[in-house]
Amino acid sequence: MAILKIARMGHPVLLRQADPVADPGAPEIRRLVADMMETMEDAPGVGLAAPQVFQPLRIFVFRVPGDRTATDPTDSPIGNSVLINPELELIGDDRVLGWEGCLSIPGMRAAVPRARAVRYRGVDCDGNVVTRTVSGFHARVVQHEYDHLDGILYTMRVNDFGLFGFNEELDKAAQGAGR
Ligand code: NI
């Protein structure tokens, strides 16, 4: 396995439509998925899409740690997961703001509006079909990663740039507000 180099915002690979994977069980795809999971854990991050490692393919890996879902009873934690050739359906019209960062935009975060719940479907490297209906942080992570496959970064979803900044400054501001 290997830690992969991550493309940063500004690189064209992050702005293109990714291609479907012809054979999700192919050895090179299995290797890519394993390397993406290792890279995500190393970063550390909760999601990584193939275009972020310079592979314009419709694949992303993600995880939802239990401590991220503790505040939302409808949320569901999940260990390292992969979706290949995913389909995503947003449920309902309500959008909720939540903080997001991206390994391709290091050191920054923003409050991004996302659907509260989504239904998704994809396959893993063994050809198993994965279908889930999820909400909360799980739904947010999947929407963020799915966007990468269509060349969309979270910055393109921000509607209040007063809620976009460097982690260090936002942390300081949040501490200040708490005093
Ligand atoms: Ni990202």
- Give the residue-averaged pLDDT of 61-75: 80
Which of the following CATH numbers is that of domain 12-177: 3.40.50.620, 3.40.640.10, 3.90.45.10, 3.30.465.10? 3.90.45.10
Stated pTM of the model? 0.95
Q: DSSP 3-state assignment of 72?
A: coil
How many angstroms separate the alpha carbon of residue 167 from the centre of ligand 1? 15
Q: What is the pLDDT of residue 70?
A: 66
Tell me the residues surrounding ligand 1 (ion) with CB < 5 Å: 102
Q: What is the pLDDT of residue 29?
A: 98
Reported as a pLDDT band with limits 50, 70 and 90, residue 66 is confident
Reported as a pLDDT band with limits 50, 70 and 90, residue 67 is confident
Report whether pLDDT(178) > 70: no
Separation between Cα atoms, residue 147 and residue 138, nearest integer Å: 14
Separation between Cα atoms, residue 175 and residue 154, nearest integer Å: 25
Separation between Cα atoms, residue 98 and residue 85, nearest integer Å: 26
Q: What is the pLDDT of residue 8?
A: 98
How many angstroms separate the alpha carbon of residue 103 from the centre of ligand 1? 6
- Give me the active site residues, please: 145
- Give the residue-averaged pLDDT of 146-162: 98
How many angstroms separate the alpha carbon of residue 147 from the centre of ligand 1? 8
How many angstroms separate the alpha carbon of residue 47 from the centre of ligand 1? 7
Q: Which of 31, 67, 35 is nearest to 48 (CA)?
A: 35
Element (H, E) at 132: strand 129-135
**Cα 169 versus chain centre, distance:** 23
- Of 24-28, 63-67, 130-134, 146-150, minimum mean pLDDT range: 63-67
How many angstroms separate the alpha carbon of residue 52 from the centre of ligand 1? 8
How many angstroms separate the alpha carbon of residue 179 from the centre of ligand 1? 32
Reported as a pLDDT band with limits 50, 70 and 90, residue 72 is confident
Percent pLDDT > 90 in the chain is: 88
Transcribe 47-59 into DSSP letters: EEEGGGGT--BSE
CB atoms within 10 A of CB 55: 20
What does the mean pLDDT of the chain come to?
95
Q: DSSP 3-state assignment of 80?
A: strand
